[in-house]
Amino acid sequence: MAGRELTVWVLGAGFSRPLGGPLLTDLFSEGLESQIEVSFGDKLFTTNDTRDPCRQAIFLYRYGTGREHSFFPGGKSVRPIYMWPDAEAFLVQLETASRQGKTSSRYQSLVAATRKALGEPTIDIDISHMLATAKRWTAAECSLFLQNVDIDDENWGPFRRWARHLSRDTSRIHTIITFNYDRVLEMLASDGGFEVLLPTDFHGRDCGETIVLKLHGSVDWKRSDGKYHRDQNEFFAIESPLDQLAIATPGRAKSELSQELGPLWSMAERALSKANRIVFVGYRFPESDAEARGRFLRAINENHDARSLEIVLGPDVHSPQVERMKALLGRVAGGLQKVVAHPLFAEDLLDSESITK
């Protein structure tokens, strides 16, 4: 493997989006509710009314977005208020309140807001139960688009061709870093000749193998006594006990889980510090993800071999998200001349990669 260059792929939600995967702004949306209820309702809901913690979480999220919705219980007219900008901030609020306990002002304010959203001023509310079901709902949204999917469908073509290209590429080694919970890469692994590692699989590994590092866990990982296993149920996270859930949803739990996934993070940082080429596909350093931003930027700052850092976030290369990424990477990579923003969607890059590289 001596002499082979290293390419690192950093994949975010925008990578899976062309296949139907959700973006952060899609989570808890009205559009998917009926589909999820049909597919996973028996695993997510305990009752058919507003006593159900999962339904409570959904209505509370919508109430706190500040946007007018018609999807409130019984068609009641409810005027939402602004409490969070997106699903990530909502999950952080739930987790913080759960940790602080029932007597905290944050907990009580969420209880009051939920009762307002439901139009039921005396209903029992348990924020910890809501948090658990909200996390499982997140897993459901990251799993729904892969249920009964056929990877021979046309929209999977660019992804399959890219995966095959990685397996045939004799000039480069590839490390794939992803923050996605979904199983897209597992489904591509047979074509790609790469392996999706568990935290316990790192022994003896180096950047000399084509590997996948899932830094925020996976919907099919089971967490038990600090150990991780792939569960035979590919939708394990939807019905698992909260303490066995191995997806790093926003909040302090994400940092705690990232510590358990430390071997994968260390391998990712090592790869970033050695890579000749780094490609960000559908990933934009979310503002709330301070740990990933800091650790990745420090690793890139230590890299003296990177010739290019590439960004793929859609055709608009002057969008605020792209400009922010260019500025962040340019500051640590020795100048903006190394940073290239491609006016492409993820599937465009993957197809052209398999043809021209």
pLDDT of residue 52: 92
Q: Which strand ranges, in their side-by-side order, compose the sheet holding 339-342?
A: 195-197, 211-214, 172-178, 5-11, 277-281, 308-312, 339-342
pLDDT of residue 1: 44
CATH 3.40.50.1220 maps onto the chain at 5-21+151-356
Least confident range from 27-36, 59-68, 150-159: namely: 27-36
Residues 6+ apart with CB under 8 A from 201: 195
Nearest CA-CA partner of 141 in 52, 42, 31, 51: 31
pLDDT of residue 205: 56
More confident residue, 45 or 110: 110
pLDDT of residue 321: 94
By CB neighbour count within 10 A (0-12 exposed, 13-18 middle, 19+ buried), where does 2 fall? exposed
Q: Is the pLDDT of residue 25 over 90?
A: no
Task: Give per-residue pLDDT as tens, 164-202.
Answer: 999 888 888 999 999 999 999 999 987 777 889 998 776
Structure letter (DSSP) for residue 306:
-
Strand-strand pairing, 172-178 and 211-214: parallel
Fold of 5-21+151-356: Rossmann fold (3.40.50)
Average pLDDT over residues 292-319: 94
Percent of the chain with pLDDT over 70: 94
Task: Give per-residue pLDDT as tens, 222-264.
Answer: 988 878 999 888 888 888 888 888 998 887 777 788 888 999 9
pTM here is: 0.91
Name the one residue in this structure whose structure tokens are 């992803």: 178
Task: End-to-end CA distance of the chain: give it in Å, rounded.
Answer: 18
> What are the backbone angles phi and psi of residue 311, rounded to the nearest 5°?
-125, 130
